[in-house]
């Protein structure tokens, strides 16, 4: 019984580490040119490759976000996003892919990433 609870707690902590929204920078539409909020992050303790999250507003909970991988090609991992929004997001990611990957790999800091990202 105690082992099962411990495992559940460990899994929860790992999931929080991988998806911690407080470790992500949110980018508003006025800065991206997109009609939604983009969330970017450095890799940190994540075991997955580079990705962004998308939400309709900056107060969204992780379960309300769509998760989109940025390499090897842009593709939806989790959540929902309509085709038009995905098309816009894909264009923005492709325009900013080098910066997003550099930020993911901690080769640049948040300020450098914000300065380098280009509006669609």
pLDDT tier at 45, thresholds 50, 70, 90: confident
- Mean pLDDT is lowest, of 62-66, 98-102, 114-118, for 62-66
Q: Domain coordinates of the chain in residue numbers?
A: 2-116
pTM for this predicted structure: 0.79
- Quick: pLDDT tens for 67-114: 999 999 999 999 999 999 999 999 999 999 999 999 999 999 999 999
Q: Is 47 exposed, middle or buried (0-12, 13-18, 19+ CB in 10 A)?
A: exposed
């Amino acid at each position: 019984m105690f082992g099962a609870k411990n495992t559940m707690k460990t899994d929860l902590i790992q999931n929080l580490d991988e998806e911690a929204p407080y470790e992500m920078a949110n980018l508003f539409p006025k800065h991206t040119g997109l009609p939604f909020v983009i969330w970017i992050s450095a890799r940190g303790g994540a075991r997955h490759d580079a990705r962004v999250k998308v939400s309709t507003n900056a107060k969204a909970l992780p379960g309300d976000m769509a998760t989109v991988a940025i390499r090897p090609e842009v593709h939806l991992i989790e959540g929902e996003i309509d085709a038009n929004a995905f098309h816009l997001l894909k264009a923005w990611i492709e325009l900013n892919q080098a910066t997003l990957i550099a930020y993911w790999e901690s080769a640049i800091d948040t300020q450098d990433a914000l300065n380098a990202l280009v509006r669609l």
